[in-house]
Amino acid sequence: MRTFAKGLTGLLGFFLLWEIAVQAGVLPDYWVPPASEVATTFVTLLGQQEFLLAVIATLLAWLISLGVAIAVGVPAGLLLGSVPALQSASRALIEFLRPIPAVALVPLVMVTIGSGPDAKITLAVYAAVWPILFNTIYAFGEIDPVLLDSARASGANRRQSLTWVALPHAAPFIFTGVRVAASIALIAVISVEYIAASEIGLGRYILEGGMNNGHLDQVMAGTVLAGLAGWAINSALVGSGRKLFRWADTEERAAR
């Protein structure tokens, strides 16, 4: 809770600095509206059904993308991590696909899938699957042979060692991958909504705000909401990760 409070101080400080910078004229207010104005807009927007629907659409797309990315990334990582031949065969392909930014694929996806929710989900899954896949593969590479020997010497067969030893051992690494993927998926969903001009969503809302006679307070309020959502998601995941994988934390501390 204390770290949460500390994190909050930094955030509030940033808003304060922003307010002062605009009020003092360091940043022109036709360029960036002051934090107080954005805050007012933000609160009013929270009462608007249209805005709330946009936020829900975005968060839902994000949640589905993350779920699909986990459902694809973890099993694929397990497979590649435990079969070295497959891993070396797929390395070049993965390294070719991975650096391609999701937004670069927008035109392709718009042609093939359109610009509906499935388009943004597809692209967000594409962007988010990599950290999960990589962390899962490497978690398997990192596993201590002594741990596997102990399992085998205790009578566990290969499949049992995989489920009861390799998988729990990999879990904290995979979880870190999921945490990174969560932020990436959110960025991807909002970017695609913006660039592909989806019918609904936070990205679409920000786009409209910018085009409608420069409603910059709306643009900023949408942006702030995206930031807050990302921050909340990350904090929640960090917190639950600490609770779930207390043993991994301690192990690292002991190793240092």
Which residues lie near another protein (CB under 8 A)? Answer: 144, 146-147, 149-157, 160, 164-165, 168-169, 171, 245, 247-248, 250-251, 254
State which residue, 166 or 219, has the beta carbon closest to another protein. Answer: 166
Name, in order, each residue with C-beta under 8 angstroms of 215's C-beta and a sequence gap of 6 or more. 209
Q: Which lies closer to another protein via its Cβ, residue 29 or residue 149?
A: 149
Nearest approach, Cβ of 74 to another protein (angstroms)?
A: 17
Contact 83, 141 (CB under 8 A): no
Provide, rounded to whole angstroms, the least separation between the CB of residue 71 and another protein: 23
Check: CB of residue 205 under 8 Å from CB of residue 222: yes
* Beta carbons of 146 and 112 less than 8 angstroms apart: no
Asked whether the CA dihedral 192, 194, 195, 198 is positive or negative, the reply is positive
Which residue's CB is nearer to another protein, number 212 or number 250? Answer: 250
Tokens for 105, please give them: 């694929």
As a residue count, the chain comes to 256
* Shortest Å distance, C-beta 203 to another protein: 40
Which residue's CB is nearer to another protein, number 61 or number 165?
A: 165
Please state the closest distance from residue 179 (CB atom) to another protein, in A.
Answer: 18
